């Protein structure tokens, strides 16, 4: 084995306690859905995982690999997992996270739209994109499904920064041609969708970047814009382009949609009429849904993003995971921060909030199911479960390393937990902001909490 490959990548290893998912524990027998290796070794080549297994059984196969090229994490301190997937967030809302006092529609007008107007300035967009990428990587998020805003510079900024880290990100221009401030509004439906198509051609499948067609939500697009957005999506769906929007988040929002579209059977039906409900569609929230809507999402192969801290913060609806994941007609479901309505960037902290929302409805959700949603489940939402979200041969080497000793108290508390699943439940419940210690993107350690320079762009020489 040559440890430098023709592409200039080194073969490297990551050793430690490993947990990954193979199947959906909402559907299959949970004990069969995950793989846990107490002392494992992951072998990475050209950005991909080529081997993984118990250290003692595979180290000898890679005898050319020098010890110095293996990062070692002590199992008492750390857990190696797939990088987290944030199924819905607005990087342009970083400047207004934690804005006081309003529910969704007033909050949009008072805080969100003014913040997004600032992105008319490309330099500001670049600055925020850099901070957003750092926040995600610091928290172990390696893939996110991201709203930019109206201005094309806001799309270029987030993709460019993602490209520098070589992360697999999905993003797109937000289409909004009514009911937003003049400065944020698209000038015409045709022009806005043409601009979206140009950005799609520029970014979709450029390296690891993927494009989404993003009408913000039904009230901020004219019927003409929704129609053209649906047509654009349908033209490119077979190339892996996504549709991404909001659905059924809050009672007043739902009432507004039914005033705007009195002829539609439901909010979902508005999107359906324009071809936006299909197998690459991701709907954020879905907190107040009827059975017909769930049936339709299941039938279409669409996905939903559960954003618990956002729903709690804005006093929106309560997501019912047991409805979404009903075995009779399961809907792909993942976890999302929904920054800036979400109150933090950590997917693990979202899991703690998701547990509490579920408990209000007496449906506890265990750690196994929770961490599945945060990793492989998120990858399934994005129809990328053959590429990301698992630690197995052939997968892109996007990895998070959790820190059991993030604080003295957490380390002490975990000593009272008997097994890894119990430990994970404590970690999500304590909800510390610094649970992640290192993040690998396509095999490169781009973030290390204990390194002098915490964030680095990958280099291949
Ligand atoms: N619905 C339409 N736009 C938004 C947004 O920016 N955030 C949230 N949470 N919901 C929305
Ligand atoms: Zn949102």
CATH code: domain of residue 176: 3.20.20.140
What's the angle, vertex CA 11, arms to CA 10 and CA 16, rounded to 5?
125
Same structural domain, 326 and 431:
no
State which ligand 1 atom lies nearest to the alpha carbon of 90: 6
State which ligand 1 atom lies nearest to the alpha carbon of 217: 2
pLDDT higher than threshold 80 for residue 2: no
Phi/psi-derived region of residue 16, left when phi > 0, alpha when psi is between -120 and 50, beta in every other case: left
State the average pLDDT over residues 250-264: 98
How far is residue 228's CA from residue 459's CA, in Å, rounded to a whole number? 40
Residue 447: its H or E element? strand 444-448
Same structural domain, 175 and 203:
yes
Evaluate: CB of 249 within 6 angstroms of ligand 1.
yes
State the average pLDDT over residues 28-52: 97
Question: From ligand 1's centre to the CA of 368, what distance in Å?
Answer: 29
454 lies in a domain?
A: no
93 lies in a domain?
A: yes
C-alpha pair distances (Å), 70 with each of 8, 65, 325, 444, 445: 17, 8, 39, 12, 12
Which pLDDT value is given to residue 6? Answer: 66
Pair 39, 14: CB distance under 8 Å: no
Closest C-alpha to 151, from 178, 172, 179: 172
Query: Phi and psi of 253, rounded to 5°?
Result: -60, -45
Evaluate: CB of 87 within 6 angstroms of ligand 1.
no
Last residue of a domain, one of 344, 363, 381: 381
Same structural domain, 153 and 249:
yes
Same structural domain, 130 and 259:
yes
Same structural domain, 122 and 23:
no
pLDDT in tens, 82-129: 999 999 999 999 999 999 999 999 999 999 999 999 999 999 999 999
Evaluate: CB of 108 within 6 angstroms of ligand 1.
yes
Range of the domain at 150: 84-381
pLDDT higher than threshold 80 for residue 360: yes
Same structural domain, 190 and 99:
yes
State the average pLDDT over residues 392-403: 98
Q: How many domains is the chain partitioned into structurally?
A: 2
Same structural domain, 415 and 369:
no
pLDDT in tens, 57-82: 999 999 999 999 999 999 999 999 99
State which ligand 1 atom lies nearest to the alpha carbon of 220: 2
458 lies in a domain?
A: no
How far is residue 387's CA from residue 144's CA, in Å, rounded to a whole number? 14
Pair 339, 90: CB distance under 8 Å: yes
pLDDT higher than threshold 80 for residue 9: no
State the average pLDDT over residues 389-403: 98
Closest C-alpha to 18, from 70, 75, 57: 75
State the average pLDDT over residues 241-269: 98
Same structural domain, 102 and 78:
no
> What DSSP state is assigned to residue 11?
P
Which pLDDT value is given to residue 87? Answer: 99
Q: Is 385 exposed, middle or buried (0-12, 13-18, 19+ CB in 10 A)?
A: buried
How far is residue 10's CA from residue 413's CA, in Å, rounded to a whole number? 38
Question: From ligand 2's centre to the CA of 340, what distance in Å?
Answer: 8
Last residue of a domain, one of 381, 411, 427: 381
7 lies in a domain?
A: yes
Residue 160's SS3 state is helix
The DSSP code sequence of 317-383 is: ----HHHHT-TTS--EEEE---TTTSS-S-HHHHHHHHHHHHHHTT----HHHHHHIIIIIHHHHTT
The residue assigned the tokens 């080194």 is 10
Same structural domain, 370 and 393:
no
194 lies in a domain?
A: yes
C-alpha pair distances (Å), 355 with each of 304, 308, 358: 17, 9, 5
294 lies in a domain?
A: yes
460 lies in a domain?
A: no
Same structural domain, 13 and 137:
no
How far is residue 20's CA from residue 283's CA, in Å, rounded to a whole number? 26
Last residue of a domain, one of 355, 381, 407: 381
Q: What percent of the chain stands above pLDDT 70?
A: 98
Question: From ligand 2's centre to the CA of 146, what distance in Å?
Answer: 9
Same structural domain, 75 and 157:
no
Evaluate: CB of 217 within 6 angstroms of ligand 1.
yes
Evaluate: CB of 216 within 6 angstroms of ligand 1.
yes
207 lies in a domain?
A: yes
Same structural domain, 190 and 333:
yes
Q: Is the peptide bond before 340 cis (omega within 30 degrees of 0)?
A: yes
Nearest CA to ligand 1 atom 3: 216
Which ligand is located closest to the Cα atom of residue 217? 1
Nearest CA to ligand 1 atom 7: 341
Which pLDDT value is given to residue 345? Answer: 97
Residue 57 has a CB neighbour count (10 Å cut-off) of 11
Which pLDDT value is given to residue 367? Answer: 98
What's the angle, vertex CA 148, arms to CA 331 and CA 376, rounded to 5?
35
Q: What is the CATH number of the domain that holds 19?
A: 2.30.40.10
Question: From ligand 1's centre to the CA of 185, what distance in Å?
Answer: 15
Pair 43, 51: CB distance under 8 Å: yes
Evaluate: CB of 250 within 6 angstroms of ligand 1.
no
How far is residue 202's CA from residue 195's CA, in Å, rounded to a whole number? 11
């Amino acid at each position: 084995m040559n440890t430098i490959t023709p592409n200039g990548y080194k073969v490297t290893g990551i050793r430690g306690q490993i947990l990954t998912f193979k199947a959906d524990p909402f559907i299959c027998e949970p004990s069969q859905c995950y793989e846990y290796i107490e002392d494992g070794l992951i072998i990475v080549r050209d950005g991909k995982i080529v081997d993984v297994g118990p250290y003692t059984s595979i180290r000898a196969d890679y005898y050319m690999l020098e010890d110095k090229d293996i990062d070692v994490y002590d199992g008492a301190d750390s857990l190696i997992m797939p990088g987290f997937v944030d199924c819905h967030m607005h990087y342009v809302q970083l400047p207004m996270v934690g804005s006081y006092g309003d529910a969704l529609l007033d909050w949009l007008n008072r805080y969100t739209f003014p913040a997004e107007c600032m992105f008319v300035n490309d330099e500001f967009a670049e600055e925020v994109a850099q901070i957003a990428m750092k926040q995600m990587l610091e928290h172990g998020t390696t893939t996110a499904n991201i709203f930019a805003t109206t201005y094309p510079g806001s799309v270029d900024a987030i993709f460019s920064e993602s490209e520098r880290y070589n992360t697999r990100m999905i993003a797109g221009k937000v289409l909004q041609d009514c009911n937003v401030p003049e400065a944020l509004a698209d000038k015409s439906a045709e022009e806005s969708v043409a601009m979206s198509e140009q950005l799609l051609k520029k970014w979709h499948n450029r390296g690891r970047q993927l494009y989404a067609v993003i009408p913000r939500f039904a009230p901020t697009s004219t019927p003409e814009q929704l129609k053209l957005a649906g047509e654009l999506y349908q033209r490119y769906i077979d190339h892996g382009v996504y549709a991404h929007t909001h659905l059924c988040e809050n009672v007043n929002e739902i009432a507004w949609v039914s005033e705007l579209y009195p002829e539609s059977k439901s909010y979902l039906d508005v999107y359906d009429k324009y071809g936006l409900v299909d197998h690459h569609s991701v709907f954020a929230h879905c907190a107040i849904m009827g059975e017909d809507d769930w049936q339709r999402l299941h039938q279409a192969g669409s996905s939903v993003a559960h954003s618990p801290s956002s729903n709690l913060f804005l006093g929106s609806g309560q997501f019912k995971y047991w409805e979404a994941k009903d075995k009779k007609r399961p809907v792909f479901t993942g976890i999302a921060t929904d920054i800036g309505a979400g109150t933090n960037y950590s997917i693990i902290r979202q899991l703690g909030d998701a547990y509490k929302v579920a408990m209000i409805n007496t449906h506890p959700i265990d750690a196994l199911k929770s961490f599945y949603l945060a990793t492989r489940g998120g990858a399934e939402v994005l129809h990328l479960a053959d590429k990301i979200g698992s630690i197995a041969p052939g997968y892109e080497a996007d990895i998070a390393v959790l820190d059991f000793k993030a604080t003295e108290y957490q380390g002490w508390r975990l000593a009272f937990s008997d097994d890894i699943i119990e430990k994970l439940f404590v970690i999500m419940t304590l909800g510390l902001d610094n649970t992640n210690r290192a993040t690998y993107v396509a095999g490169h350690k781009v973030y290390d909490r204990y390194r002098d320079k915490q964030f680095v762009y990958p280099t291949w020489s």
